[in-house]
């Protein structure tokens, strides 16, 4: 359920096939006092560090900054640190935003200015690399500035959200794009705003941070409400995605929940893909059906061995979901033929070299039937 605030009909949401781009800032440098000072971002839920779970949820970001001391992560990020370290979430957020690639200014309406004339070449010389109109474009592209020209949304996340998924992040970004609000925050089961599970317009975020810093002299030690009270916010209620782990009881709850029947396979597959460094949409139904056919039609140990061989065959092709589906279909058909032969062998009326399953023997009787 969403609570729209400040809708503006001039803004439009994402078009089909063109998702709204965004940057991400993840705060992972808190003291975790309620966990006794434990390394909370490194605590594992379902075999994956909390930080890696959050990074997977915002993997669609153009650029991701993690505000914390650098550590190994499942994907590449930019690292930043507030000063002094441990000076609170508002200071950390400002450090993260400032570490993002700088957006290029939008062009003003009107005819484009004529390009500056290139300097006259010196006889016998070659143009210096990175100079001239094309060279400037190359430099801008190398800095990532062109890629961030239209990125005005900044997703802001804490590093302790075990159930945050990419769909929830995309919903935040799309809701902001279709609204006139300064930001969109998730609210928890009690209706409380969660400003570290949110998306903000970069211009509004920087404006309020600058105002608060000017009024207070520094951002160290200031609460996040100093930010949110200066913004026009829309809200989306999602008690699952906004669930955070502040205590060991919260961690125990999260670990228990992912082992529930409706979640365990998805959680396991996500953890295995992260561990193996692969990014592939897995059709679990197809593979489970294949495993069932192999176990029932051949032998129980054939199930894991067959799915391994299917994965290997798909990887030797192009590794796409279509390659997985094609290899699975071939193996499933083989398992069904294997099972049919076993059924024929068990039938007292079967003869060597009998017909395929479903065919007819001479005289009109079906194979394997009386």
Per residue in 46-91, pLDDT tens?
888 999 999 999 999 999 999 999 999 988 999 999 988 888 999 9
Per residue in 130-149, pLDDT tens?
333 333 333 233 334 434 44
Kindly state the tokens that stand for 326.
């094609």
CB 46 within 8 A of CB 267: yes
Per residue in 204-263, pLDDT tens?
999 999 999 999 888 998 989 999 998 999 999 999 999 999 889 988 998 888 877 567
For residue 275, what is the enclosing H or E element? helix 264-276
| Beta-strand relationship, 153-158 and 78-80 | unpaired
Q: Domain 2-104+148-248 class? A: alpha beta
Decide: pTM greater than 0.75: no
Q: Identify each DSSP E strand in the chain by its residue range.
A: 2-3, 23-27, 44-45, 48-49, 64-67, 78-80, 153-158, 183-187, 193-201, 233-237
Report the interhelical angle of 321-346 vs 284-297 (nearest 10°): 20
Looking at residue 60, what DSSP letter applies?
Answer: T
Per residue in 275-332, pLDDT tens?
777 777 777 788 888 888 888 888 888 888 888 888 888 888 888 888 888 888 888 8
């Amino acid at each position: 359920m969403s609570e729209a605030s400040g809708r503006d009909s001039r803004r439009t949401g994402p078009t089909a096939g063109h998702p709204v781009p965004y940057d991400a800032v993840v705060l992972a440098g808190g003291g975790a006092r309620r966990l006794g000072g434990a390394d909370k971002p490194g605590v594992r839920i379902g075999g994956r560090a909390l930080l890696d779970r959050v990074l997977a949820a915002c993997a669609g970001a153009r650029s991701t900054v993690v505000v914390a001391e650098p550590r190994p992560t499942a994907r590449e990020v930019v690292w930043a640190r507030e000063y002094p370290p441990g000076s609170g979430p508002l200071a950390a957020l400002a450090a993260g935003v400032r570490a993002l690639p700088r957006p290029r200014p939008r062009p003003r309406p009107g005819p484009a200015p004529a390009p500056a004339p290139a300097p006259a070449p010196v006889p016998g010389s070659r143009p210096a690399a990175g100079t001239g109109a094309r060279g400037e474009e190359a430099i801008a592209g190398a800095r990532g500035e062109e890629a961030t020209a239209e990125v005005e949304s900044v997703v802001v996340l804490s590093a302790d959200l075990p159930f945050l998924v990419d769909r929830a992040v995309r919903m935040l970004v799309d809701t902001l794009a279709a609204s006139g609000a300064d930001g969109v925050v998730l609210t928890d089961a009690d209706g409380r705003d969660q400003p570290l599970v949110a998306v903000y317009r970069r211009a509004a975020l920087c404006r309020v941070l600058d105002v608060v810093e000017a009024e207070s002299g520094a951002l160290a030690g200031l609460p996040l409400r100093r930010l949110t009270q200066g913004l026009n916010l829309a809200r989306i209620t999602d008690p699952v995605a906004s669930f955070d782990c502040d205590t060991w009881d919260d961690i125990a709850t999260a670990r228990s929940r992912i082992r529930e029947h409706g979640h365990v396979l998805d959680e396991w597959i996500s953890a295995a893909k992260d561990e193996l460094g692969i990014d592939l949409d897995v059709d679990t139904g197809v593979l489970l059906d294949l495993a069932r056919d192999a176990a029932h039609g051949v032998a129980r140990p054939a199930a894991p061995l067959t799915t391994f061989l299917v994965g290997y065959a798909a990887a030797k092709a192009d590794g796409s979901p279509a390659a997985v589906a094609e290899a699975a279909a071939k193996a499933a058909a083989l398992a069904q033929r294997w099972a049919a032969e076993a059924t024929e062998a068990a039938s007292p009326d079967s003869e060597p070299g009998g017909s395929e399953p479903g065919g007819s023997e001479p005289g009109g009787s079906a194979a394997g039937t009386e």
